[in-house]
Structure 1
Amino acid sequence: MPAVEGSDSGRMDGVSLGLVATPASPRPNCNTDSEEDTMDGGMLTFNQTHMRKAFQLMNDLRSKKMLCDVQLVAGSVEVPAHRVVLASCSPYFCAMFTGDMSESKARQVEIREVDGQTLRKLVDYIYTAEIEVTEDNVQVLLPAASLLQLMDVRQVCCEFLQSQLHPTNCLGIRAFADLHTCTQLLNQAHAYAEQHFTEVVQGEEFQGLSLQQVCGLIASDKLTVSTEEKVFEAMIAWIKHDKPARLEHMPKLMEHVRLPLLSRDYLVQIVEEEALIKNNNTCKDFLIEAMKYHLLPADQRHLIKTDRTRPRTPISIPKVMIVVGGQAPKAIRSVECYDFQEDRWYQVADLPSRRCRAGVVSMAGCVYAVGGFNSSLRERTVDVYDGGRDQWSAVASMQERRSTLGAAVLTDLLYAVGGFNGSIGLSTVEVYNSKSNEWIYVASMNTRRSSVGVGVVEGEDEVFVCDQGLLKRCLNEQLTVCVCVCVCACACVRVSVCACLCVRVCVCVCFSAGKLYAVGGYDGASRQCLSTVEEYDPVADQWCYVADMSTRRSGAGTHTHTHTHTHTL
């Protein structure tokens, strides 16, 4: 358990001395050791152990009830002490003993607001600068420390409670912090509840919240939820926990549920069928508002401006993996997400059209599905998914039809590299600027490529393309945020770099810690899948083998986690 420790400073207070209690000697030893050296010219010294030894001696005297001039009483517990020591460490006692109150001269002083054992612990702290904070004593220790104005103890109690935050107790800790005006702990507990909302609403503490507290939580823009479904379901569960008393609060709660951000299917199949909604005209109005929002074209939805159409902006956005389209056995529209926290898959809005073999990237908080194959034709179209609104919308199409292309994002620009147009592999490269909503050509590769692996070297403004044993640094250009037609005249150059150590088709590529990794693929001759992994150093322009994967694979996807772990799927 944490012990409150200070530093050896010049202040004579137990809070800041950082003292450690030692076993009492049989008789008080009033002799002290001098550490001062003398010189003819004089010398000023500071004895760093002086205060520690002094407080050890005073605590020794206290334990033997020697020279004590006050006895604190709390219930049946009596605690002898020295006024000067108490006053030097506690502003509460300082005011009591130096003022005109009767306690300033009384031999016994009753402390009514603190229980005996807690008072004993705090007086021990004053003399020793040590205290143990536990789950069992923190709720009595903190208010007692606040009363006696032992602010270091109060702070340690707050830090202990902050370290104990959990979805099952954060709302209780928040209420406790609010009661005792612990502002920092209050804010930390509230932020924790926002960030762990999905788990918090499953606990008993959430069901016991007042209407005002529930509204304050679900109205927050910083609420961390994978979908708005979690908020709607939590609100319904809170109502049903005490339906007779809480049913009248439905309209007030529904003001803060952002129904327009729910999928159309969820609105029709779940929200509209909920009996609590059906039987409340005000709640049905909120549902109609959400339906109208979904009926509007995507470019007109901004015309409905309410708090319910504003996406939440949590501090830590929950991470999900999204799988877009694919073949089963023909191209499909299905899109699924995997929630890492809840270990589950769930459906989101389908693609506007069937699509497989597309390039998929994340840029500016949205997911882009670029090109692909619809089971009949290669695509030029590009669709963008907005997770906050659970909807797809179209943006400008590419200049060429491309499937099995490479896609990457660099400096807020989306690159479409190579691919197959239905007849031949492509060497061309296009770049998309979301601000101008247009695609332009940049420097082509030296070789036609499809089923390519593309990786971005952070900080170098370079996109690497790896396929069939050849790696090309195909782009090395400075593109401004406002890209226009003149970019075509910029110095887009290709630089040949060292080839991979072995031929790799359908290889996956990723960047981590300044190095590029070519993972798996299959060789061009035997078409055998590979488990080998190569590492490329852009500075040395060299490849080397690193540890093999446990499984042979080609056409995989790879991603670098924030802790520099590479994940291959």
Structure 2
Amino acid sequence: MDVRSEEDCCADEFFCRLQGLRSEGHLVDVTLCAEGKEIRCHRLVLSACSDYFHAMFGGAHSESKKDKIEIGGVSAEALQLLVDFAYTPKFNITEENVYHQFEAANMLQVKPVEDACEKFLTNNLSPDTCLEVWTLADNLSFVKLSAVARRYALKSFAEVCKTEEFLQLPIEFLKTYISDQGLHAKKEAEVLDAVMLWARHDFKQRKSHLKELLECVCFSGVDRDYLKNMMETDKVLSGVPGIKELIKDPSRHGKPRHFQQEEIVLLGGIMSGYDPPIVNQDVYRLNLDFDVVDKAPLTQIFQFKEGSAACVLDNDVIVTGGDKSMSQAWRYKPSLNSWTRLKSLKKGRKHHGMAVLNGDVYVVGGENRACDLITDVEVYSGKTNRWTKVAPLIYPVIHFGIATCCDKVFGGQMEHYCYRLSDEVQFYDSTRKEWDYATALPYALADIKACTINSKIYLVGGDLDRVLCYNPQEEHYEEMAKRLCRWNNCSATVSGSEIYITGGWARVIWNMNINPFSTVQCYDVSSDTMIMCKDLPLPLCEHHTVTVSKH
């Protein structure tokens, strides 16, 4: 049964009457014209819907006294749909009309339709549409939409290069695209191939642009044998004036791409279930497109422990604690796929936090096997392979976020064992060697992840519905982009100016079962935008992801 409020019914009746007046031609006082089509309507209704018409009819413009007004720059269909929206605030956006409607709504300043078109384009980005959306958003000065479309295009480079839109790119746009340091090309040879593909599409018109495009390629990153073979077999490439000198001179190459230099290590996590859970016993190496580079079993090394913690020290992964052997510590070398047992922690723990500060690993808080909360903080030195105690926390916490920033260990988002959430924040000052309180959170939180970029700390996960940014210098919190999907019990890791937020879970039946996710959300600090990426190779929660440099 459809239950509607009295206000809804009144609004429907009002707009129905308006439509009737227009259909009857009753009190219509202006006719809009576009592409030979005439649309009769009321100035008052148009002024109420559009700032453009409000200014036109309410000021000293000559159009304010005209019976017929030619509207240039919009199609007849787009104008008709906007006028219909003014009389009945309903609007059907489709893939076929969204671009024209977005431009028309922007020109005629119909903000609800503008916003709806922007949301539609954002939610329907694909390799076939991202370049067109990027261009359109730039032309209309929609900064956020432009940034989202740009990031999608950069991360989907291989797929975008296969589209007709890529082949039709103007030279300057193409240069901007392939010169971006965030371009996700698995190999620099892919960029070279893309340039040659674009040039060959209309070689007669484009051959004069080929050399300036090739200067955007980092030839030092192209496999020598591959390049030699291309020079011997591709007459177009070998025929570019000065190509041999360009290849040999690194100072004239494009810059090496940050994307090619890092990968993500994924460890453990819960795949399904609750009691007992099914635990992932593999370690994955992933590129930043979340393709699997390598996979190795953990079972012969140790049983992965729920509630453990992980961080990166000198490009190795340090893993400590967890439900099984709570005092164990391990060092994993991704380059060798080898594990080394470290000295045990002085106090076993789970649901704790880890961070690296000044070359040392800090293990903070958590709880012991008896579920007593721990205030002890231990520090691991890679030089001595020993754990030592430092000043304890002001009070014990579990399921909190921890990050290093401004030469301090920042411990935030705390939860007491009795599941009473806290808005308190503690930080460790390595100069004074003691803990103190920092600016409290705007609301109580737990189960969040903290990531440091450009001397600011970004909080994600848990019950947050958006990214929360903490500025330690100004002691200020700011709400940033909204999450795109649930992220409870997720993991988060940083590459460049981006935070990759992976997995998470939703409880199916309270305290009985959980449903892990394989989703990957990517938050870009520089543009304050969030996009969805390719999924993890398996659904996970309570797992670890860390970023390491490739060897």
TM-score relative to the length of structure 2? 0.50
TM-score relative to the length of structure 1? 0.49
Larger-gyration structure (1/2): 1
Considering Cα pairs closer than 8 Å and 6+ residues apart, tell me whether 1 or 2 has the greater RCO.
Answer: 2
